[in-house]
Amino acid sequence: MADRVEAVAIEGLGEIVPGDDLPALIADALAASTGVLPLRDDDVLVVTQKVVSKAEGAIVDLTTIEPRPVAVEFARRYDRDARQVEVVLREAKRVIRMANGVVITETPHGFVCANGGIDASNVGPGSGDIVTLLPADPDASAERIRAAVRHRLGHDLPVIVSDSFGRPWRFGIVDVAIGVSGIEPLDDLRGTPDADGRVMKSTVRAVADEIASVAELVFGKTGRHPIALVRGAAFNRGDGHIRDVIMPAQMDLFR
């Protein structure tokens, strides 16, 4: 187990707009930084959902949206933008809760989160009516970035696409993984001995989520830094998928 873990924000990624070749731009930014920061085998690259969605054009112009009556009513009641509520409902596979001004939905990917991961902050100057959706296939987004880095730098760097999710029962958001490539998102210790030699029965570490949280501490919520290297975490390389993390509805007690 590592005894030192570090997250470093990577500089040099400019404002991202739809159509940008984000994987190539990220590879360029990494190439420019490797003089001072040579890549290591225990590095993981974390990329925020926001830049992935923008580059992939997973955005909606709210001026084109006609909200349904329930969205209008909900928005009026809780001082929200009815058009954004409409997009959340439109993109949802299922509405889990809609109360107290909060819409919790299950996304087509299987994530359960506030507003289906759709939000308005940091989508570029002068874009008050633009919201970002989640990337259509965040594992594929991560895989494309990983391939570009491998091509440009000859280094197989695992990639996590992250987003900020709230949690039931606790205030505040934490970053979690919504897409992975080259890393197993869970570290399953069941059956291995603990420090006293006792077999652990239920420990599955959500290592990709914790790595995403580390990266958030250098991203900052103002979004100035959308990519970071996390170095030194003990993780397993592999061809894991984010669906490995998603609890099936029949096991879940809160859906």
**Which of 9, 62, 134, 227 is in the footprint of a copy of itself by CB under 8 A?**
9
Contact call for residue 236 and a copy of itself (CB under 8 A): no
Contact call for residue 32 and a copy of itself (CB under 8 A): no
Tell me the torsion sign for CA atoms 161, 164, 168, 172: positive
H-run or E-run covering 210: helix 207-219
Contact call for residue 189 and a copy of itself (CB under 8 A): yes
Residue 51: which residues within 8 A CB-CB, separation 6 or more? 13, 16, 22, 226, 227
Q: What is the DSSP letter of 123?
A: S
Closest to a copy of itself by CB, 115 or 144: 115
Site track for a copy of itself across 135-154, x = CB under 8 A: --------------------
Contact call for residue 245 and a copy of itself (CB under 8 A): yes
* Rounded CA separation 192/137 (Å): 33
Reduce the DSSP state of residue 133 to 3 states and report it. coil
Judged by CB under 8 A, which stretch of 23-31, 65-73, 86-94, 104-112 contacts a copy of itself? 104-112
Give yes or no for a contact between 216 and 223, defined as CB atoms under 8 angstroms apart. no
Closest to a copy of itself by CB, 14 or 154: 14
Closest to a copy of itself by CB, 144 or 235: 235
* Min separation Cβ 72 and a copy of itself, Å: 19
Greatest alpha-carbon pair distance for the chain in Å reads 61
Closest by Cα among 171, 151, 246 to 208: 246
Site track for a copy of itself across 153-172, x = CB under 8 A: -----------x--xxxxxx
Give yes or no for a contact between 105 and 112, defined as CB atoms under 8 angstroms apart. yes
* Rounded CA separation 129/162 (Å): 23
Contact call for residue 2 and a copy of itself (CB under 8 A): yes
Judged by CB under 8 A, which stretch of 23-31, 60-68, 148-156, 189-197 contacts a copy of itself? 189-197
* Min separation Cβ 244 and a copy of itself, Å: 7
Contact call for residue 68 and a copy of itself (CB under 8 A): no
